[in-house]
């Protein structure tokens, strides 16, 4: 299949990108809802074996040819991340699982293509850096930083439709699916390609910024604490800031910083929810495993050994499975079980403790340490009754000591104001993190990280905190999110201070 065009007054044939057989399977599914009578039993994993399984949160497009064109383009695009970077993150997460490091993951609820600009990218990098320094001080261990950036476009929705001016329209599913304007709600497969290029541009600018010194600790950091109204709380924060500042000044004075390249830049990895499997499949490549990541091999007398290869999702370093798409026999679990990336699994109130270990048996049958991050999201009022059973289930299984326990205190604490505005209370967010730390300690476990929806912008979406924001402030024009409410830069940093204080007390 191709088209014809003119070059220097000569008509020539232009061949359209061809789509792989795996891509054809995905393209067909995208225009034809899954047949529940299809045999979903798969003996061997492939990047497209998920198409034989029932799927949740699916997107159905009108135009098969447009889907095929988009997927063919994606299959030809270069990776956004590399196996070397992915394997380096796996080593860092192994340390987290063993209690030698702490995981900070944060970023937008749902990125927009418009967020792909230097100011917004830099503000999130700087915020994650400051939060990580505070957590390093509190936990007394290195912090692994993962951003919800460069691909976090799609969002699962409780309903695929909504009412607008008396008519039913498709819900906004994210910039990589449809537009926020009611006139742009029809799913458009060309947005998959746009998502790739916006993700690649964001990742490129993150790398460029880090290599150019945006995270250089020799430069002064802005620790402005004027928003903290209570003097006793402000004094605690200032104590932490002064300690961090004095430590950096001491290293500079004795010359320890001149040889420490770690003070000039940091590692920052990217992540998103692996929701659109046709997109993820198109960027899944069988690539050589970096030498440093090779598993020990049994001795052989063979003089010829092929270099090992694995399937890597090259759209991000880290991907997670959402609470709505973790069905044991579902398409998402089938896809995720075959990729070499470290992965997250959302664990919410709807997951029975008896279901957790069987899921890990599918996703991590070799019990690789740090491969799986369990992202718990219960809500402040439910965590005490639900988390202990999930911890006990893991402790009684072969996966004990292999997983990372990460607290997501955002999703279980969303509520609506009387006017219908979604928000979250800072106190509820803090309460869930604090209870997670306490429960893990009581059960002989430990909290390995936090997962936050935040922005480096001065938005007003969550209420509470030292700024004293209340529900009336939500109507003042500072509410910018097109999906769920995020912590602003002051609330996010304040949460880091409080979590750090919890570690110091422990």
Query: What is the DSSP track for 122-161?
Result: HHHHHHHHHHHHHHHHHHSS-EEEEEE-SS------S-SE
Cβ neighbours of residue 265 under 8 Å, at least 6 residues apart? 210, 211, 213, 215, 216
Specify the pairing of strand 10-15 against strand 269-273: unpaired
How many other C-beta atoms are found inside a 10 Å radius of the C-beta of residue 290?
15
What are the E-state strand segments in 50-123? 102-107
Give SS3 for 425: strand
Give me the residue label for tokens 């003089």. 303
CB 140 within 8 A of CB 240: no
Q: What is the pTM of this model?
A: 0.90
Nearest to 401 by CA among 433, 372, 361, 431: 372
CB 429 within 8 A of CB 462: yes
Q: Name the β-bridge partners of 9.
A: none
Each residue's pLDDT, cut to its tens digit, for the chain (506 residues) gives: 444 444 455 554 445 567 887 788 788 877 766 554 344 454 699 999 999 999 999 999 999 999 999 999 999 999 999 999 999 999 999 999 999 999 999 999 999 999 999 999 999 999 999 899 899 989 999 999 999 999 999 999 989 999 999 999 999 999 999 999 999 999 999 999 999 999 999 999 999 999 998 877 666 566 666 666 677 777 777 888 788 778 877 877 777 665 555 666 789 999 999 999 999 999 999 999 998 765 544 333 444 457 799 999 999 999 999 999 999 999 999 999 999 999 999 999 999 999 999 999 999 999 999 999 999 999 999 999 999 999 999 999 999 999 999 999 999 999 999 999 999 999 999 999 999 999 999 999 999 999 999 999 999 999 999 889 999 999 989 999 999 999 999 999 999 999 998 888 76
CB 149 within 8 A of CB 111: yes
Specify the pairing of strand 167-170 against strand 161-164: antiparallel
Give the model's pLDDT for residue 154. Answer: 96
Q: Name the β-bridge partners of 383.
A: none
CA within 13 Å, CB half, 469: 25
Give the model's pLDDT for residue 433. Answer: 98
Give SS3 for 8: coil
Give SS3 for 355: helix
Specify the pairing of strand 343-347 against strand 372-376: parallel
Q: How far apart are CA 123 and CA 202, in angstroms?
A: 13
How many residues in the chain? 506
Q: How far apart are CA 7 and CA 10, in angstroms?
A: 5
How many other C-beta atoms are found inside a 10 Å radius of the C-beta of residue 239?
12
Nearest to 454 by CA among 224, 169, 147: 147
Give the model's pLDDT for residue 456. Answer: 92
Nearest to 452 by CA among 146, 213, 196, 179: 146
Q: Cα–Cα distances in Å, from 473 out to 158, 309, 420, 465, 483?
A: 27, 53, 14, 13, 18
Give the model's pLDDT for residue 15. Answer: 53
Nearest to 200 by CA among 73, 105, 18: 73
Element at 86 (helix H, strand E): helix 83-97
Give SS3 for 263: helix
Nearest to 320 by CA among 82, 125, 78, 148: 148
Q: Cα–Cα distances in Å, from 421 out to 174, 453, 479, 482?
A: 19, 17, 9, 11
Q: How far apart are CA 410 and CA 491, in angstroms?
A: 13
Q: How far apart are CA 395 and CA 48, in angstroms?
A: 33
């Amino acid at each position: 299949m191709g088209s014809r065009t003119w070059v220097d007054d000569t008509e020539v044939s232009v061949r359209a990108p061809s789509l792989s057989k795996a891509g054809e399977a995905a393209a067909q599914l995208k225009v034809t809802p899954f047949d529940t009578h299809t045999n979903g039993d798969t003996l061997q994993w492939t990047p497209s074996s998920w198409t034989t399984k029932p799927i949740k949160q699916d997107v159905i497009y009108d135009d098969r040819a447009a889907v095929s064109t988009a997927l063919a383009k994606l299959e030809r695009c270069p990776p956004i991340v590399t196996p070397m970077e992915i394997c380096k993150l796996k080593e860092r997460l192994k340390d987290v699982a063993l209690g030698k490091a702490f995981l900070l993951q944060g970023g937008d609820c749902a990125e927009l293509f418009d967020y792909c600009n230097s100011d917004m990218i830099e503000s999130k990098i700087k915020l994650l850096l400051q939060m990580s320094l505070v957590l390093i001080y509190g936990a007394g261990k290195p912090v692994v930083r993962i951003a919800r950036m460069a691909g976090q476009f799609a969002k699962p929705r409780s309903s695929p439709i909504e009412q607008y001016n008396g008519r039913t329209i498709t819900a906004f599913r994210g910039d990589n699916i449809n537009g926020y304007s009611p006139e742009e709600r029809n799913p458009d497969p060309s947005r998959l390609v746009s998502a790739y290029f916006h993700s690649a541009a964001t990742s490129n600018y993150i790398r460029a910024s880090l290599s150019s010194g945006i995270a250089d600790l020799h430069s002064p950091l802005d620790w402005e604490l004027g928003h903290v109204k209570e003097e006793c709380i402000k004094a605690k924060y200032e104590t932490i800031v002064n300690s961090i500042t004095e430590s950096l000044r001491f290293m500079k004075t004795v010359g320890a910083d001149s040889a420490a390249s770690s003070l000039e830049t940091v590692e920052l990895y990217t992540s998103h929810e692996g929701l659109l499997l046709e997109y993820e499949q198109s960027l899944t490549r069988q690539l050589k495993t970096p030498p440093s990541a090779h598993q020990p091999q049994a001795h052989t007398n063979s003089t010829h050994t092929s270099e090992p290869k694995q399937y890597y999702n090259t759209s991000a370093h880290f991907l997670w499975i959402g609470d709505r798409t973790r069905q044991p026999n579902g398409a998402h679990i089938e896809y995720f079980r075959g990729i070499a990336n470290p992965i997250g699994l959302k664990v919410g109130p709807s997951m029975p403790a008896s279901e957790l270990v069987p899921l890990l048996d599918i996703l991590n049958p070799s019990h690789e340490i740090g491969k799986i991050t369990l992202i718990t999201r219960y809500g402040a009022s439910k965590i005490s009754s639900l988390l202990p059973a999930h911890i006990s289930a893991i402790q009684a299984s072969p996966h004990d000591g292999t997983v990372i326990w990460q607290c997501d205190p955002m999703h279980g604490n969303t509520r609506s104001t009387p006017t219908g505005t979604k928000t979250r209370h800072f106190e509820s967010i803090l309460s869930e993190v604090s209870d997670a730390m306490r429960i893990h300690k009581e059960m002989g476990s430990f909290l390995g990280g936090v997962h936050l929806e935040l922005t480096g912008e001065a938005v007003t979406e969550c209420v509470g905190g030292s700024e004293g924001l209340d529900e009336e402030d939500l109507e003042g024009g500072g509410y910018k999110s097109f999906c769920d409410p995020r912590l602003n830069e002051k609330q996010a940093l304040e949460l880091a201070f409080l979590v750090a204080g919890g570690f110091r007390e422990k």
